[in-house]
Amino acid sequence: MDDAPRSRRHRPPPPAADSGPARRSRGARRTTPGRRPLRSATALAAAISLAALSVLATGCGEESEPAVTPTSSTRAAAPRVVDDLQTAYQDVIEDVLPSVVQIEAGDSLGSGVVYDERGHLITNAHVVDSADSFQITVATGEEPVPAKLVSSYPEQDLAVLKLDRVPTGVKPAVFGDSSQVQVGQIVLAMGSPLGLSGSVTQGIVSAVGRTVTESSSGGGTGATIGNMVQTSAAINPGNSGGALVNLDSRIIGIPTLAATDPDLGNSAAPGIGFAIPASMVKTVADQIITTGRVTDSGRAALGITARTVLDDNYQPSGTAVVDVEKGGPADDAGLKSGDIITRLGSAQITTITSLAEALASESPGDKVVVAYTRGGERRSAQVTLGEI
């Protein structure tokens, strides 16, 4: 007999029976833009570990099988999975970092992405701000290269710069298809958080289709941006304008905002960041590069100027129409100055921000029902939305 452990017996075995072989048992997802002074460089990475469980079964009246000892192939499985993921991360970083730059705009700092071989860079409008000269540091480590502003589009918080010369080793980024972005995808954020150029953080796509309003204080543009990608990858001051990348080395968004928690004094809410989707980035960049400005925003508009109104308890209760653009969508639908808009489509309107967010979810040409009050009387009108 071998030395394998035996199971308990409930009764003595038959005297004439030999021990048979043991049977095998099988184990059976408010905002603050970010810019900071330049510091030193670093990078981060992450890996996943796996574990295996062996099961020892016992049988009634039979010998149990010895505990299964992992073979060399099972011992190698977990490290191989970790190595594969780590290699994937490193390949993406090697592919994309040469397309990510650091932007010094006066005494402020942000990130940018190389858009084409002519040296156009895409970044956030709040990174550019009011600066008129820029110094660009590329991943190859050369001396900073001057760049000029082509145009800024604060309504979508995007801007295009152009390098005076294209350094060796710099290559255009490859942009992905925003419609294919799915919750749960692994992503890496690349940029210069807190001035640490060439930094990489990792996370997942937490949600898609978010509409977020950027603060107008602290250097923000106050833009309301629709269809943003929410991510758990850390986005810190200085990451703005950089790259949010999938494991195919495709840029799926431009990191722009980090959520803040009012209950914590508007400090950053960890793991809640937002990126402008690649489709909008390409739409804006192509128009600026071709014509010098955005001629087709793709953003819906009512054709009014408005302000937030308060009720008797000093709470926001709607958006008052201050002025109506002649021949615009609201004018065509019969809205007048003094009307108070309370709903657009299915969205309740209490502030000018909520109106902007509702419009950001619509497209030019869409027909929506606008509910409003005039002289205390409730009314509604169907409006064919125009374009900003």
Write down the domain spans for the chain: 178-282, 300-387
Mean pLDDT score of the chain: 81
Q: Are 333 and 370 in contact (CB under 8 A)?
A: yes
178-282 maps to which CATH number?
2.40.10.10
Q: Which stretch of DSSP H or E encloses residue 187?
A: strand 186-191
Same fold flag, 178-282 and 300-387: no
Residue 45 tokens read as 């990475």
> Please, what CATH class does the domain formed by 300-387 belong to?
mainly beta
pLDDT digits (tens, 9 = 90+) for 234-247: 998 899 999 999 99
88 vs 217 pLDDT, higher one: 88
Task: Give 333's contacts (C-beta < 8 A, 6+ positions apart).
Answer: 370, 381, 382, 383, 384
What is the rounded CA–CA span in Å between residue 110 and residue 104?
Answer: 7
268, pLDDT greater than 80 = no
Q: What is the pTM of this model?
A: 0.72
What is the rounded CA–CA span in Å between residue 50 and residue 81?
Answer: 8
Could you give phi then psi for residue 305, rounded to 5 degrees?
-110, 145
pLDDT, position 42: 32
What is the rounded CA–CA span in Å between residue 368 and residue 333?
Answer: 11
Calculate mean pLDDT across residues 52-69: 37
pLDDT, position 215: 83
pLDDT-derived band of residue 221, with 50, 70 and 90 as boundaries? confident
**Residues involved in catalysis:** 126, 157, 240
Calculate mean pLDDT across residues 217-233: 88
The angle at the Cα of 215, spanning 214 to 216, to the nearest 5 degrees, equals: 115
Task: Give 202's contacts (C-beta < 8 A, 6+ positions apart).
Answer: 44, 45, 46, 89, 186, 187, 188, 189, 233
Residue 213: how many CB atoms within 10 A of its CB? 20
Secondary structure, 3-state, 325-362: CCCCHHHHCCCCCCCEEEEECCEECCCHHHHHHHHHCC
pLDDT, position 266: 64
CA distances from 148 to 103, 134, 141 (A): 11, 7, 20
